[in-house]
Chains A and B, each alone.
Chain A
């Protein structure tokens, strides 16, 4: 995964950058399977590797495929990144070890979910029962966020185009207006 990330930094051809980011998502999905998060892996494989790669390709088809060489010096960003990374690595030294069952994150609430959710909800998949029942408000909020994003895309690219370019009315905008009637 790290290799893919570095390749994305170096490459200037945006088409390969986007395909590499798809590969990156797929690698992340297989990592989630190894970490026993099957639901998350499923989502990442379908969403990250599928839909978002597709959307980026669609954007590339509209805009340009090659990146221009930047004139700016890379010294400042590099030093910021190295300093931040070193601070973060220093911070991890106090973190619980990988796979520790007594890590603080694994002590609170979890035993209750594992022991009681089978009786209270009657559904074997704990992830689904937490998602839809115990954290129902949260999921409602997430659904509204997705809804809002769709509305935002429609506002940006759907009808608003005519206001910005009164002289040139694209064909697709006219079609959509007819559909609205």
Chain B
């Protein structure tokens, strides 16, 4: 196996797992959102790295170029990024409301409050 080989997938797996770890282990909601973003970027990198073809140029038509990268994943990811920021904004809005209702954005403290109420 030559050097590039499968390393792009391994980078994706490492990034994805660090995002996953942040989401499941941290109690702070803002940090959870950051973790989700990292997870999301790792999926983007997976798609974009699959679209790369050796010696392929950016997919903008030109007479002199014969070999292009695969443009379809680019389109999918382009829209996914913008939708991602819209959903991030929605999540942050929810965090602001949670802070409003509970006075904290730590998961553990909210669970304690809920237990005391019931």
Contact = CB atoms under 8 A, between A and B. Distances in A.
A interface: dominant SS? helix
B54 A101 contact: yes
Contacts of A37: 48, 51, 58, 69, 73-74, 77
A21 B52 contact: no
B17 A92 contact: no
Interface residues of B, number: 84
B interface: dominant SS? helix
Interface in A42-90: 43-44, 47-48, 51-52, 55-56, 58-60, 62-64, 67-68, 70-72, 74, 77-78, 80-82, 84-85, 88-89
A2 B89 contact: no
Query: Interface size for chain A: under 10, 10 to 19, 20 to 34, or 35 or more residues?
Result: 35 or more
A47 to B, nearest CB: 5
Interface of A: 1-2, 5-6, 8-9, 14, 17-18, 21, 24-25, 28, 31-32, 35-40, 43-44, 47-48, 51-52, 55-56, 58-60, 62-64, 67-68, 70-72, 74, 77-78, 80-82, 84-85, 88-89, 92-93, 95-101, 103, 105-106, 109-110, 113-114, 117-118, 124-127, 130-131, 135, 138-139, 142, 145-146, 149-150, 152-153, 156-157, 161, 164-165
Interface of B: 1-2, 4-11, 13-22, 24-28, 30-31, 33-35, 37-38, 41, 44-45, 48-54, 56-62, 68-75, 77-79, 81-90, 92-97, 99-101, 104-106, 108-109
